């Protein structure tokens, strides 16, 4: 498979956190390719005819599918919409992209959280509607001969709308004077969206197929993550309290969906960053220097 200067890569969900970073990092991470940002206002992915027409017109070299209804409460409230956006949209894109590489962004939440440190071969067992639809999207994607499924975790960064990352949600709540209870017994492997995007481009250019975990190298509770975000946003008064999953009365939540990303690290040829260290380096780089 040869790439050319005219190689177009569709990036769905370009208005979201990871999609936005995929577009931003493309010039350096995938030189010679043209990343085409697809946002909802320009192309409704549920409009099958419009999607098919544009696909035929642009004839992309690859598709990176990061668009999704990703907020669990919204999926729980409207399972039919979640299935339409997360499964049926994926199905059409998989069919259209049958002869080219297809990348699906998935989630650590496809696991039930009973053991943690999940590897790619572990059986999925989603607990909520969002996770169920992403597991179903994975199954659809596996019918594609050149598929690449990337499961990631909580992603940190700044989205175009300012409300797509867990850190943005925390800071927005603090600015509004709301206290955020954070579980001290729910564990994830957070990573910067910039690093996720860079790694996705790396996996795509390596022409690998299959499933890869792509997350930070640090197992952190929601409470620990909140403390780290607060420490690096001193201009905002952090209002956080520790809570426990044992006391949670909402829809089921997995306790430990930490991911083993060593397969991706071997393929990429470098270690994915620890979230704590990455935040410290970013904070230091942004600090004003004095003469």
Sheet holding 147-152, edge to edge: 33-38, 7-12, 62-65, 102-107, 147-152, 210-214
Summarised one tens digit per residue, pLDDT across range 53-90 is 999 999 999 999 999 998 888 889 999 999 999 999 99
Please report, rounded to a whole number, the percentage of residues in the chain having pLDDT higher than 70. Answer: 95
Q: Is residue 250 part of a domain?
A: no
243 within a domain of the structure (yes/no): no
In whole angstroms, what separates CA 25 from the centre of its chain?
A: 15
Residue 240 near residue 179 (C-beta atoms within 8 A):
yes
The answer as to whether 229 is a domain residue is: no
CATH number at residue 33: 3.40.50.720
200 domain residue, yes or no: yes
- Mapped onto helix, strand or coil, the DSSP state of residue 99 is coil
Number of domains forming the structure of the chain: 1
Range of the domain at 134: 7-157+191-217+257-274
pLDDT at 1: 40
User: Residue 257: is its pLDDT beyond 70?
Assistant: yes
Q: Is the residue at 31 inside a domain? A: yes
Cα–Cα distance, 190 to 188 (Å, whole number): 6
Q: Judge whether 138 lies within some domain.
A: yes
Q: Is residue 244 part of a domain?
A: no
Kindly state whether residue 35 falls inside one of the protein's structural domains.
Answer: yes
Mean pLDDT (the chain) is 91
| pLDDT band, very low/low/confident/very high, at 143 (cuts 50, 70, 90) | very high
pLDDT for res 40: 87
Q: Treating both helix axes as pointing N-terminal to C-terminal, what angle do 17-29 and 193-205 enclose, rounded to 10 degrees?
A: 50
Q: What is the pLDDT of residues 165-224, one digit of tens each?
A: 788 888 888 899 999 899 999 999 999 999 999 999 999 999 999 999 999 999 999 999
Q: What percent of the chain has pLDDT over 90?
A: 71
pLDDT of residue 183: 94
């Amino acid at each position: 498979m040869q790439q050319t200067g005219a190689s177009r890569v569709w990036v769905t969900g370009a208005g979201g956190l990871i999609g936005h970073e995929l577009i931003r990092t493309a010039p350096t991470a995938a030189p010679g390719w043209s990343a085409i940002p697809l946002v909802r206002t320009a192309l409704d992915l549920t409009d099958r005819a419009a999607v098919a027409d544009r696909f035929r017109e642009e004839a992309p070299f690859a598709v990176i599918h990061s668009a999704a209804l990703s907020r669990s409460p919204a999926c729980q409230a409207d399972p039919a919409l979640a299935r339409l956006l997360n499964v049926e949209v994926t199905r059409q894109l998989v069919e259209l992209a049958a002869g080219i590489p297809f990348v699906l962004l998935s989630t650590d939440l496809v696991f039930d959280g009973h053991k943690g440190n999940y590897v790619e071969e572990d059986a999925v067992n989603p607990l909520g509607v969002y996770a169920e639809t992403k597991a179903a999207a994975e199954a659809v994607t596996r019918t594609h001969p050149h598929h690449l499924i990337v499961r990631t975790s909580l992603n940190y960064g700044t989205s175009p709308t300012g409300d797509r990352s867990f850190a943005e949600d925390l800071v927005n709540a603090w600015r509004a004077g709301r206290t955020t209870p954070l579980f001290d017994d729910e564990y994830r492997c957070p990573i910067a969206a910039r690093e996720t995007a860079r790694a996705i481009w790396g996996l795509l250019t390596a022409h690998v197929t299959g499933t890869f975990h792509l997350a930070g190298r640090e197992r952190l509770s929601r409470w620990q993550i909140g403390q780290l975000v607060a420490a690096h946003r001193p201009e905002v008064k952090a209002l956080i309290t520790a809570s426990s999953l044992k006391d949670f009365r909402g829809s089921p939540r997995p306790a430990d969906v930490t991911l083993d990303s060593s397969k991706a690290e071997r393929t990429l040829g470098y270690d994915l960053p620890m979230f704590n260290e990455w935040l410290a380096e970013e904070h230091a780089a942004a600090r004003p220097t004095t003469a």
